[in-house]
Amino acid sequence: MKTLSRLLVLAMLAGIFSVPVIKATTDDDEDQPRMEAALRALREAEKQLAEAKHDKGGHRVAALRSTREAIRQTELGMRAGDRHEDHDHDKK
């Protein structure tokens, strides 16, 4: 389980820190670089967990399930962020 946890944490950190720190955006072209990086890292973690050998006493499957839920929540959060940004933009 420690190995799987470390793999998940490393994948997430790699995705987060791979995003350029400075990014020029305009009000009309706002994106979510940190959420996008987290989503990429989670998808990579999902791939690694799916390809891992053995079940690890049920922990690999549980980690895979949790990772897939984290992907779903991240996607929902990004959509909510897009709606919120559009709503704020409409007020201007």
* pLDDT value for 3: 74
Query: Vertex 4, ends 3 and 6: CA angle to 5°?
Result: 65
pLDDT at 15: 64
pLDDT of amino acid 2: 74
**pTM score, whole prediction:** 0.61
pLDDT at 42: 98
pLDDT along the chain (92 residues), means of 10: 71 61 42 96 98 94 98 96 66 46
The DSSP line for 38-83 is HHHHHHHHHHHHHH-SS-TTTHHHHHHHHHHHHHHHHHHHHHHHHH
